[in-house]
Amino acid sequence: MTEMIDAALVWFRRDLRCDDHAALYYALKSARKVWCAFVLDTDILDALPRQDRRVTFILRSLQELHDGLTQATGGLGGLMVRHGSAVTEIPKLAAQLGVQAVFANHDDEPAALTRDAAVRGRLSDQGMALYTTKDHVIFERNEVLTGQGTPYGVFTPYKNAWLKKIDSFYLKGYPVEHYTAALAPVAADLAGWQVGKPVVPTEKDIGFEPCDDLKISPGMSGARALLADFLPRLDQYHETRDFPSVKGPSYLSTHLRFGTISIRELARLAHERAQNRSEGAQIWLSELIWRDFYHQILFHHPHVVGHSYKREYDRIKWAHGAHANAHFKAWCEGLTGYPLVDAAMRQLNQTGYMHNRLRMVTASFLTKDLGIDWRKGEAYFAEKLLDYDLAANNGGWQWAASTGCDAQPWFRIFNPISQSKKFDPTGKFIRRYVPELADLPDAAIHAPWLGGFQVKGYPRPIVDHDEARADTLKRFDVVKKA
């Protein structure tokens, strides 16, 4: 936009912060008056279980976002929260405010693109525009392409192109703080999520049960605290990241998912240290690049939602029926008889988080030891993970199942016992989440049955790994020449 408009609305979605925020920056630069809103979208919420950690995280983060916007306006402005379908609520609010445009950041999930198209159409009918911009990743859509102008399907050349293109321009933040004078006061009849109500509803207000065991501090302040804790450990990240009993990861994935911290800030910190030859920073930066990679895969290949990236892999006949259902239930509950797998699944069920190494181990076990369709595991993670992100979750599951882009070869199958010995050598992580095994010696805790131990209340393995591996190799016969 080149001409100033009188009024604009910023529609917050997966970007719950009021600093280094692309849509907010462009709105403040483009309009004399700017309001801010978030919709608790019933089109999304109605599909969730009635107690969901993500709802609690969002509500608490919204309160902090409201407080931040209020402070920026000297107590006059703030956030407007609505509960309903965004397709209805955003055009309605835009009409009530009399704005000329709505600003938002891109969301490239297929359902979000459909939603945004519907909102854009309704706004257009009202004589208003919807402007969206990049904010959630460093490079998106068509910004990193092959020499032939096609999207990458293999990570390493994508990463090399990403690193070749990156410079200070792409890493610099949006100086929102210089333009907050344009934030407008909120009229009393528009301030609450309902007239006369507080700005941010409680879980019960919107039909959910509170989640009192949230294991992560929400909001911008929660992200800041985690980043401050991680930076002194960053240079050792490459040495610690694979061990679930060690404080190795940044634990910022949930904050990145909901945008309570800027990806540009994190990538800038990682890139600067990587340039100074910090191996830990180089590996962490690579993880952030994987995030970009999976988002551009989702944008260019939306069929991955529900189908294999490699379409011929949809021919695989996964295990099904009562026996497979019982195995899936045991996997979900952490009762497979393989201690590391069970500890990981219990961590997920109890906390909403799973260590990244263990995401690979549990996904490999479900698909290649139990022979169960990766889509069932993907859906279970989607329900349980606090940091659930469609692009990353789908990419990770298809990688483990060997159906995705740049995937683990179909014949490479994680041995859950070897993984346990390598990444939890003393069983510290296992003991925390599978207390039935706490008294076993270190040497026996990875596979109690091999040491002759039978632990009351803990099952024997539901499958034999070697036999399951042979079955998996047969299962992939239909595609091994693809």
Which residue numbers are catalytic?
Answer: 287, 290, 318, 356, 374, 397
User: Is residue 150 within 8 Å of residue 157, measured between CB atoms?
Assistant: no
User: Is residue 30 within 8 Å of residue 7, measured between CB atoms?
Assistant: no
- Interhelix angle 322-333/374-384, nearest 10 degrees: 30
Q: Which of 299, 210, 208, 291 is nearest to 252 (CA)?
A: 291
User: Is residue 80 within 8 Å of residue 191, measured between CB atoms?
Assistant: yes
In three-state secondary structure terms, 215 is coil
Q: Which of 300, 28, 269, 54 is nearest to 153 (CA)?
A: 300
In three-state secondary structure terms, 344 is helix
Question: DSSP string covering 430-447, please?
Answer: HHHH-GGGTTS-TTTTT-
User: Is residue 116 within 8 Å of residue 144, measured between CB atoms?
Assistant: no
In three-state secondary structure terms, 478 is helix
Using the Cα atoms of residue 401, residue 403, residue 405 and residue 409 in order, give the sign of their dihedral. positive
Residue-wise burial string across 22-34, b where 16 or more C-beta atoms lie within 10 A, e elsewhere = bbbbbbbbbbebb
Provide CB contacts within 8 A for 362, sequence distance 6+: 331, 341, 344, 345, 354, 377
Tell me, what amino acid is at 359? R
